[in-house]
Amino acid sequence: MAWRLTQFVDKQGKRAVALRQDDAPARRLTGAATTYELAQQAIAAGLSLLSLAQAQATGDPVDLAAALADGRVLPPLDHPDAAHLLVAGTGLTHLGSAEGRDKMHRDLADPAKQTDSMRMFRMGLDGGKPAPGQVGVQPEWFYKGDGSILARPDGDLLSPFFALDGGEEPEIAGLYIVGPDGSVFCLGYALGNEFSDHVTERQNYLYLAHSKLRVCAIGPELLLGDLPADIRGTTRIVRDGKTVWEKPFLSGEANMSHSLSNLEYHHFKYDGFRRPGDAHVHYFGTATLSFSDGFTTQPGDVFEVEAAPFGLPLRNRLAQATEVPVVVKGL
């Protein structure tokens, strides 16, 4: 049984949350208007998020597919102050994920030379799943932005005017809230598109930080409870109504070189990431990229990510921002 939460805006313009089990009709919650509010209530009451949501799921039925088509579905977690939601992620965490990265970073003059990417991947294979009570090797980590960079499900992924590429990264993201005493609570997991600029990254691995400062998407639904160990999904690109690239993708710990607990430890070990009241969206990495297959995206392309048991697929359209002047003035 899969229980999932969805944030949406009703037809009167009011925010709301809905809960559904598997493919049953969703029902509106009556005691909280946002996932963040519901999580804060659960923390204060010492209850699980699911049990509190079940107790509140006494409102009207909600047609999630219709709300999604109308553009009324929101990311499954946000914060009243977007600056207090941190979006970050880890890379080279999936079995096979080094191949795509290594193609980008390999020294073309010496194909046999081991890159930093391959060394990082091997470190994860050797020490990314430590025994209980031990700390494993730390993964690659990157920052994407604050809550303002989360696009709506079915919304545009706006690539900046200076970008050299806009490519999908189908992933699973963990969603978290920090409690009043600094304890970290995992709300659940969502499909994600950790949108990146792979051409910029390929120029030089030190450009990775630049390539990751992009909009991204999660949702539409938040899967409550534990993440399944073996997740099998599909990612595709649709152009003018036709699928022009498609591939299966794997996730979950059975397909990863790191355990989730190890990735979480190495993110939340920093004091600044355990600030009471803050929210976090953390991408866990991927092994599947259209860029690795030599595919070139273009504005108007629609990225689709779907996998059981996450419910509705995540769809976003690639758009290109117009150039804006960047001027720094003395004061």
Q: What is the pLDDT of residues 197-243, one digit of tens each?
A: 999 999 998 999 999 999 999 999 999 999 999 999 999 999 999 99
Distances (CA, A) of 57 to 5, 54, 72, 304: 10, 5, 19, 29
pLDDT confidence of residue 101: 58
**Whole-number Å distance between alpha carbons of 152 and 89:** 19
Task: Say whether pLDDT at 157 is over 80.
Answer: yes
Burial 297-313 (b: 16+ CB within 10 A, else e): beeebbbbbbbeebbbb
pLDDT confidence of residue 96: 67
Q: What is the pLDDT of residues 101-131, one digit of tens each?
A: 565 555 444 566 677 877 888 888 899 999 9
Q: What is the pTM of this model?
A: 0.94
Q: What is the pLDDT of residues 276-314, one digit of tens each?
A: 999 999 999 998 999 999 999 999 999 999 999 999 999
Q: Which of 169, 167, 156 is CA-nearest to residue 199?
A: 167
Element (H, E) at 181: none
- In contact, 19 and 3? CB cutoff 8 Å: yes
Q: What is the pLDDT of residues 1-49, one digit of tens each?
A: 899 999 999 999 999 999 999 999 999 999 999 999 999 999 999 999 9
